[in-house]
Amino acid sequence: MPQQSESPEVPANRKKAGSLRKRLVMTLAAALTPILVLSVISAYLDANKGMDERRANLLLVADAAIDGVEQSIQEASLLLSLYQTQVFNGQCSGIFKRLSPHLPAISNIIAFDTEGRPTCSAVGNASEALSNQNWNERLKRGERVIRSDTFFDDKTKQWIFAVLLRQDGADGAYAGSIGVELQTDELAALPHAYLLPAGVDVALLDDRGETFGSSRFSSIDPEWVEKVQQSRTAELFVLHEPQAGSLDVVIKPVGEGNLFAAISRASPGIWSDFTLRPVSSIGLPLITFSVALLAVWLAIDSLVLAWISRLTRTVRVYGAGRYQFNAGRAFDEAPDEIAKLARAMDVMAKDIGERDKDLKLAIASRDAAVREIHHRVKNNLQIVTSFLNLQGRQLRDPQAKAAISAARHRIDALAIVHQTLYQNERLEQVHLRPFLTGLVSHLSEALGMEDSGIAVEQAYADVMRPADDAIPMALFVVEAITNAMKYAFDGTGGRIRTSLDVFEGGMRLEIADDGRGYDPEILSGGNNGSGLGSKLMSAFSRQLAADLTIETSPGNGCKLILIMPDQA
C-alpha cells in the first residue's frame, strides 16, 4: 500500500493566491465599501445639519430677547439724533433727565468739539476712557454714526460703550460730535426680561470676547468673535466648561457695531436626536457591514471549507489505495454541488479500483511468467553445467579441464542470478546482501577454497540494485575470485575478502586477497591483468558504467575496487 503523505505537494513556482475565505470576504468587503463610504458622507452631512438645526433652534428661542437689546440701542441712537441740536448746544443735563426714564441703560449724554474734547456732560465729566479712543478721527473722515469699544467707567464702576453722532457746521464741515453712554449690564439684563426657555442663557459680548450678563462664562474665545465679526452671521460653537459641561454657544452680531449676543444652553446628550442621527447614519451601515462579513465568514466555513476539508481527507483515503471507501454517504448533508462532487469522486475511485485490480492481476501474471522463465533458465543452466562436468571428466588435458571448469563457474553464476530473481518478490530489483552472500558461498564450495586453506570474509551493505546489473556484477565477482584462486596463492592458504559499501552517489564493491600480488608495470603472461579474466572484468565494469581500480604490488596482495554510480 502506498504511503500517505501528510499534505499534497504544492508546486514551487505556484503563485500564492490566498485562501478561499479571505478572498470571498475581501470581495464582499469591496462590494459593501461604497455603501459604507456613502454612510460616512451621510453621517457628515447629518452632523452638519444637526449643528445648523441647533444654531437655528437657539436663535429662534432668543431672537425676541436679542431684538430687544438691538431696539434699545437703536432707540438711544434715534433719540440722540432727535435732540442733537440741544445736546450740541450744551443742554446735555436737560436732555439726559428727559430720556433717562425711557432708557434705563443711559448713563451719560456728552457733546464734543472737533478735537474730541467734551464741551458738556450730563453727569460729571466725560469718561476719560472714551476721550482716549480714536472715534473722533473716524467721525472726521466722514462716518455718521459709530459705536465705541466697551470700556470700564471709573465713576460708575461699570462697563460702558457709547453711540456717537457726527455734527456738521453750516458749511458742512466737521463741527464736533455728540454721544450717549450705555451701560452694558443694563442692556444685558434686557433679554432676561423676556420669557426664555429653561436652560437658555443670553449675554452680550464685545469684540474682545468680554462677556456681560452671563451666569455661565465670563469670556469667550476672541477667535470665535472675530470669525462672527468677519462673516456678520450667527455661528454655533461648542464650549467645554469644567462645571457646566459642554455648552452650545451661538454668537450673533447685534446691529452694525462691535456688540454681539451670546446665546447658550447645554449641548444635546448622547441620546439626543442631534447625536443619534449622524451616529445611526454611520453606525447602522457599519453594523450591517460587520454582520455581513461575519455571516459570510461563518457561512464559508460551514458551507464550503468544512466540506472541502472532508473532501481532502477523502482524497487522501483514496490516495492510500482504499478505493472501496464510500464517500457519498458522508456528504448527504453537504450542499448539492459538493455532494455531487463527492459522488463523482466515488465513481472515479471505483473505476480506479477496478483498473488497479486488473493491473495487479496482470502484473501478478507477468511476474509469475517471468519467475517461471528464470526458473527454467536456471534449470537449463544446471543441465549445461552437468554436461560440462561430464565432459570435463573425460578430458585429460589440464588446460582443457581448467577452461571447462571456468566456463562451469560462469554458468553457475548465471544460474544463481536467475535463482535469485525468481525467488525475489520484486523482479525489477535484487537484494544484494543475500545475492552476493549466496554467490560467493557457492563459488567457495565449487572452487574448494576451504580445502585449499583459503578463508572467505564477506561484508555487504543492505541495499537494492536493478536486476539488469545483477548478471554483470555476479560475473565480475566470479572472475575476480577465480583469478585470485588461480594466481594469488602459493598453496599455503590465504584470505579473500569481499565487501560492498554505499556512499552518496553510488556504491563500492571491493574484492581483496592477501596473496603474492604482482607488479603492474611488468608484463608476464596471464598474471598481469592482460588475460581473459581481466578482460572480462573490464567488460563487466563498462557494462555497469563503473570505474575499476586495481591496487597491487609484489608481496602485498591484490585489491579490485569497483565504483558503481547510482542508477538514474
Pairing mode, strands 494-503 and 454-460: parallel
- What pLDDT is recorded for position 547? 92
pLDDT digits (tens, 9 = 90+) for 519-556: 877 644 444 455 777 888 889 899 889 999 999 888 88
pLDDT in tens, 257-280: 778 888 777 777 555 555 656 666
Instruction: List, for residues 59-106, the tens digit of each pLDDT value.
Output: 666 666 677 777 778 888 888 888 888 888 888 988 888 888 888 888
- Top-ranked range on mean pLDDT: pick from 50-64, 315-329, 411-425: 315-329
- Of 62-71, 214-223, 329-338, 489-498, where does the model show the most confidence? 489-498
pLDDT at residue 277, as a whole number: 62
> Do residues 99 and 79 touch, judged by C-beta distance below 8 A?
yes
Q: What percent of the chain has pLDDT over 70?
A: 81
Nearest alpha carbon to residue 86 among 133, 127, 119: 119
pLDDT at residue 196, as a whole number: 66
The reply to whether domains 197-267 and 426-565 share a CATH topology is: no
Residue that is written with C-alpha cell 442631534 in the block: 274
Instruction: Compute the distance between CA of residue 288 and CA of residue 294 in angstroms, rounded to an integer.
Output: 10
Please state which of the ranges 90-99, 123-132, 321-330, 462-471 shows the lowest mean pLDDT.
123-132
Mean pLDDT of 165-183: 88
Mean pLDDT to the nearest integer, 435-451: 85
* Residue with more model confidence, 134 or 530: 134
What one-letter code names the amino acid at 119? T
Q: How confident is the model at residue 559 (pLDDT cuts 50, 70, 90)?
A: very high
Across the strands, what pairs with 212? 204
**Better pLDDT: 22 or 136:** 136
Q: Rounded to whole angstroms, how far apart are CA atoms 512 and 560?
A: 6
Cβ count near 398 (within 10 Å) = 8
Rounded Cα gap, residues 54 and 529, in angstroms:
116
- At 536 the pLDDT is 84
Spatial distance between the Cα atoms of 238 and 438, rounded to a whole number of angstroms: 104
Nearest to 412 by CA among 373, 448, 386: 386
pLDDT at 502 over 90: yes
CATH number of 197-267: 3.30.450.20
Q: Which three cell numbers stand for residue 328?
A: 457519498
Q: What is the pLDDT of residue 127?
A: 61
**What's the pLDDT score for residue 522?**
63
pTM of the model: 0.41
- Per-residue exposure over 551-564, b if at least 16 CB sit within 10 Å of its own CB, e if not: ebeeeebbbbebbb
Domain ranges (residues) in the chain:
20-45+277-319, 83-187, 197-267, 327-418, 426-565
Q: What is the pLDDT of residue 523?
A: 43
Residues 327, 345 contacting (CB under 8 angstroms): yes
**Which residue did the predictor score with more confidence, 142 or 148?**
142
Query: What average pLDDT does this structure show over 16-44?
Result: 73
16 Cβ neighbours under 8 A, 6+ residues apart? none
Name which of 140, 148, 145 is nearest 184 in CA terms: 148
Distance CA 78, CA 91 (A): 17
The Cα–Cα gap between 160 and 186 comes to 10
Report the C-alpha gap between 325 and 331 in whole angstroms: 13
426-565: CATH number = 3.30.565.10
pLDDT of 1 higher than 50: no
The pLDDT score that the predictor gives to residue 431 is 86
Fold of 83-187: Beta-Lactamase (3.30.450)
Mean pLDDT across the chain, nearest whole number? Answer: 78
Residue whose grid cell is 434686557: 190
Supply the pLDDT for residue 3. Answer: 44
Q: 3-class SS at 78?
A: helix
For residues 451-474, average pLDDT: 88
| Mean local confidence (pLDDT), 390-404 | 79
Of 216 and 355, the structure prediction assigns the larger pLDDT to 355
pLDDT of residue 297: 78
- For residue 385, pLDDT beyond 50: yes
Please tell me the least confidently modeled range out of 151-155, 360-364, 418-422: 418-422
For residues 212 and 185, the answer to whether their CB atoms sit within 8 Å is: yes
pLDDT at 465: 87
For the chain, give percent helix, strand, coil, nearest 5: 50, 20, 30
Q: What is the mean pLDDT of residues 164-186?
A: 87
Average pLDDT over residues 552-567: 89
Give the helix ranges, DSSP H, for 180-326: 184-189, 222-231, 273-299, 306-319
